[in-house]
Structure 1
């Protein structure tokens, strides 16, 4: 298997995240990272691997991975929050653009550190034991997992104003390890992607940025990925 850590300083972070999401989707066959880059360049989505458009990422995912790709607009909060949490509980990956801090976690740099991550799960603090369809962890009492392919009702989600109650299990292309990120930090970072990095603007490279810039292509947007034959 190719390792995402082979490209720590390249602009391919979005395509690396999509490649990792493809493995989580369990789609037939495997698509290499180089193939994703090739198709993205051929379609005009990127010049060298950068992705500044969630809409283009959706089209690329559908073509190369043969999956469903739902573009989520309006941020990760409000009415979208329950949709995102239920999507992750169902076992499907989420692609999120955000600003990356020195430790890879979300921060707020107005898009100057725009990066991509894939979320593969969610950790939530709930008041009651979940309804049927969940099983308690064999090693950690009080931790419950959804039973794969079983009918289960979603738990009662914590209020959006509850600090530290929801965490996303996330990974990005500069590290091979998952991290737990506070949902509100991810939401806030995703919602303030407005500007193209001055450092990138003067580095002598060519980038593909959509009409309307970073704000139009990334701000408040994410991608819900599902297997092609999945039905709600």
Structure 2
């Protein structure tokens, strides 16, 4: 299905041992008559010596546990190493959602049943202005072979194609071309915002388990805000939390730890519930990750939509920092405003 604004994107053409010093050998000292006065234990071969216990076994690997996050630049940053050691395993999407629903329960409507559609992603912490390429790398783990695509390769390809100077991405269209070439996936560019007819398209895409790349303005807590594009950032969404008045009877199971939260049953035929109507506040949350944290976040759909629609200006701070940036003709407004990227495997039949 094509976007109402752009047709499907077309990829560009590929062009000795140290000698022991010798010295006088002292005669052996006579043993004391009372062996119990020895300050060290008797050898294990002696019948009087206790047998030492065996060393403890190494801890078993975690069963079903998640790997620690991939951290770009980890080898160069002691601070990142220490943070990673303290963080422990990366929580899965369900774990993070249940944590958020418990800790921030006042944010979520108590008159609704909640259904979570999600796909797990690894984490990758960005270094420098590479948030878009980091988001694309995370999305690529759902689209590319298990070996994945190294971030360094994505950065180099983007630089070679003229899409970026140092890892920044100010064009959703260029991101789509890069995704098609590097990941071999389908890319659909949406424009005109996440509302209107695009809203149903986005929700259906996420319920199907495919990733969505979204530019937005980033607040201090990484959530979407409105800064006119001065804090332009990228996130990847791989799930959605839907509030509904009734849960379909087949294909869904209630979470054993959190009543009121339902999950699709894998391998079971099911019909997705009708999405909440546009204008239903607090009924749709996007499950997102971005390159400054290895935790998932739940963002109100309308909040993301509003942030995405007001990306219109290039940050004066960036403009004055002396670095080179690749900004498309027409600026941030033409490259990011009201746009998002739907990614899916090439054989998904879209």
Q: Scaled by the length of structure 2, what TM-score is found? A: 0.63
Structure 2 match to 1:228: 346
Shift of 1:138: 3.5
Aligned residues: 232
Shift of 1:105: 0.3
CA distance in 2, matches of 1:208, 1:62: 20
The structure whose Rg is larger is: 2
8 Å Cα contact 1:13/1:50 also seen in 2: yes
Does 1:95 pair with 2:213?
yes
Shift of 1:137: 2.8
Q: Over aligned residue pairs, what C-alpha RMSD do you find?
A: 1.8
Structure 2 match to 1:11: 129
CA distance in 2, matches of 1:205, 1:115: 17
In structure 2, relative to structure 1, the CA distance for the partners of 1:127 and 1:66 (3 Å cut) is same
Structure 2 match to 1:31: 149
CA deviation profile, 1:95-142 (whole Å, cap 9, x unmatched): 000000011000000000000000110011101112533333343333
Match of 1:106 among 224, 237, 248: 224
Does 1:145 pair with 2:263?
yes
Which segment drifts farther, 136-145 or 12-21? Answer: 136-145
Structure 2 match to 1:212: 330
Q: Scaled by the length of structure 1, what TM-score is found? A: 0.94
> How do 1:47-66 residues align onto structure 2 when only pairs under 5 Å count?
47-66=165-184
Unpaired runs of 5+ residues, structure 2, are: 1-68, 75-124
In structure 2, relative to structure 1, the CA distance for the partners of 1:86 and 1:150 (3 Å cut) is farther
CA distance in 1, matches of 2:73, 2:298: 19
8 Å Cα contact 1:15/1:33 also seen in 2: yes
CA deviation profile, 1:66-114 (whole Å, cap 9, x unmatched): 1111111110011111111111111111100000001100000000000
CA distance in 2, matches of 1:27, 1:132: 32
Structure 1 match to 2:279: 161
Does 1:2 pair with 2:86?
no
Unpaired runs of 5+ residues, structure 1, are: none
CA distance in 2, matches of 1:32, 1:92: 20
Shift of 1:29: 3.0
Match of 1:175 among 287, 293, 298: 293
Shift of 1:61: 0.5
8 Å Cα contact 2:205/2:342 also seen in 1: yes
8 Å Cα contact 1:4/1:175 also seen in 2: no
8 Å Cα contact 1:12/1:49 also seen in 2: yes
Higher relative contact order (CA 8 A, sep 6+): 1
CA distance in 1, matches of 2:73, 2:194: 28
In structure 2, relative to structure 1, the CA distance for the partners of 1:189 and 1:66 (3 Å cut) is same
CA distance in 2, matches of 1:17, 1:121: 14
> How do 1:179-218 residues align onto structure 2 when only pairs under 5 Å count?
179-218=297-336
Look up the SS of the partner of 1:125 in the other structure: strand
Look up the SS of the partner of 1:162 in the other structure: coil
CA deviation profile, 1:153-186 (whole Å, cap 9, x unmatched): 2212112211111111111001111011111000
CA distance in 2, matches of 1:195, 1:34: 28
